[in-house]
Structure 1
């Protein structure tokens, strides 16, 4: 678009492509906040919001369609899908939080150590990371979970281990960049040494911005990983509900109740979208160059 076209659009009251993009960006951020707020409310108050016991079976109400009594229908055992989705939200989100927490606990200190100490420490840590990353992430998580036994806690520990290289590599790169800064050299010249006087006050605060962005993105990946493992019956075990477990049951009876497979799928997609958008928003808000 030329300058003449832009001026004509402004004169006519039409928004420019840049303004339209900004408006769409603000809308997506608002929708993402709304989705995550709704998810948080469900996680905290699922007990009060669910109209039925999520595990209660009613063999006289198998695979019922959506109705006033069962808003999202019932599954193959007569359990209320809406109630199972509410309780499953809590399980899926807390499982994703566990995986991300483990990835940060493993990746952040090792990444800082590799970037700050360099030399042999950096070489050993990065060779281990290369070995872990040589396998597809979800395949490695499936292998670890299958070896240790199917369980949601085991599954998310596996996912956390698989995701830790993303945090580690980012923390290492940021630490190496900070290590060469002038204020680090000045602090060293005044005798500052060690974890308490150098890493904690100077390194950690300056790498927290990209780490927070990465954490938001990894939350989306962890949700997908939990759904994938539970779909394969390597995550939550019956009768516990999660988004992946509900999706697995719906897939089994796809020909009889096709609408039920969309419910957990939309929930997963919307929440992952929200975490990705919020990650971009965190990066924008914490950008030191932002006016």
Structure 2
């Protein structure tokens, strides 16, 4: 009996990897042809660059007080005005972008693998494993995400790391449900059946053949979730459960400026605009990516 060539045995796994990578490249290529999605990418890129270079391009240190320039309106000296301590709001927004971007990506790094693993395991094994994992997911989904995050943050204590953990604990269920739905479809494909005939173990099928095919859809869902994560992080900061003063967190900046809104609107409006632009950019990019991956999507 002749041995089966190694290349033949590895073909299904290679097909899964190449299809997943090809899908990601197609998303990037089609994004350049989607004007609105491309504009969202540009806005998000600008925000990330500003956050990365804040210490270089910010006109003033974020926490230096100037009591002689308290509550100054927007001007050439202070493009976004100053707050009640005379701090430059534009500089604080730039440094606050670091906090927001770090929070969003930290949460995504946590919930992406967790949601993917839970969903793929549930969809692949089915039966009692699927029932237990999905009922746990449904329990978390039954609570409003913001209320649950507030409860976790209040229980663990205020702070940026606490906010990341609290948001992560409430944001993984949609990822898990999507990954499960994808796994239910992928496990019936021909290349998975071929890999099973070649003697691939369950763990090999799960993590080398099925999980890679679920990654593009999970990335799209994560992109859509980034807007919600941004708003949730700002809400925690507004309520004093996120980054603590004097850190220039956008939600905390709105909270400190709300008592001056009637007479000094820029103190609260400027960080609100920053939150709006960031969440809008994430939403636009996510919608464009979802359209690109839709089977009915046609560029011709």
Report the TM-score, using the length of structure 1 for normalisation: 0.86
Deviations 1:171-218 (A, max 9, x none): 1111111122233222212211132x3123321221122111101011
Q: Given that residues 209 and 283 in structure 1 are in contact (C-alpha distance below 8 angstroms), is that contact kept between their aligned partners in structure 2?
A: no
* Displacement after TM superposition at 1:223 (Å): 0.5
**Equivalent residue, structure 2, for 1:101:** 109
* Displacement after TM superposition at 1:285 (Å): 4.0
Distance 2:190 2:146 in 1: 41
Distance 2:38 2:135 in 1: 42
Higher mean alpha-carbon deviation, 79-88 vs 262-271, is at 262-271
**Equivalent residue, structure 1, for 2:177:** 169
Distance 2:162 2:109 in 1: 14
Match of 2:37 among 29, 32, 55: 29
Higher mean alpha-carbon deviation, 182-191 vs 239-248, is at 182-191
- The alignment yields a C-alpha RMSD, in angstroms, of 1.7
* Displacement after TM superposition at 1:105 (Å): 2.7
Distance 1:67 1:186 in 2: 67
**Equivalent residue, structure 1, for 2:230:** 223
Secondary structure of the 1:60 match is helix
Higher mean alpha-carbon deviation, 131-140 vs 204-213, is at 204-213
Q: Is residue 264 of structure 2 the alignment partner of residue 271 of structure 1? A: no
* Displacement after TM superposition at 1:287 (Å): 5.3
Equivalenced residue count is 266
Q: Given that residues 254 and 261 in structure 1 are in contact (C-alpha distance below 8 angstroms), is that contact kept between their aligned partners in structure 2?
A: yes
Deviations 1:233-262 (A, max 9, x none): 110100001211222122122123113322
* Displacement after TM superposition at 1:282 (Å): 2.4
Q: Is residue 55 of structure 2 the alignment partner of residue 47 of structure 1? A: yes
Q: Given that residues 81 and 266 in structure 2 are in contact (C-alpha distance below 8 angstroms), is that contact kept between their aligned partners in structure 1?
A: no
Distance 1:279 1:259 in 2: 30
Deviations 1:58-98 (A, max 9, x none): 12221111112111111111111011000001111111111
Report the TM-score, using the length of structure 2 for normalisation: 0.84
Q: 5+ unaligned residues in a row in structure 2: which ranges?
A: 1-32
Q: Which runs of 4+ in 1 moved over 3 A?
A: 283-291
Q: Given that residues 38 and 285 in structure 2 are in contact (C-alpha distance below 8 angstroms), is that contact kept between their aligned partners in structure 1?
A: no
Alignment of 1:40-189 (within 5 A): 40-189=48-197
Q: Given that residues 137 and 162 in structure 1 are in contact (C-alpha distance below 8 angstroms), is that contact kept between their aligned partners in structure 2?
A: yes
* Displacement after TM superposition at 1:112 (Å): 1.0
Distance 2:153 2:222 in 1: 22
Q: Given that residues 42 and 86 in structure 1 are in contact (C-alpha distance below 8 angstroms), is that contact kept between their aligned partners in structure 2?
A: yes
Q: 5+ unaligned residues in a row in structure 1: which ranges?
A: 1-24
Match of 1:192 among 200, 218, 223: 200
CA shift in 2, pair 1:198/1:26, >3 Å = closer
* Displacement after TM superposition at 1:284 (Å): 4.0
Q: Given that residues 107 and 167 in structure 1 are in contact (C-alpha distance below 8 angstroms), is that contact kept between their aligned partners in structure 2?
A: yes
**Equivalent residue, structure 1, for 2:268:** 261
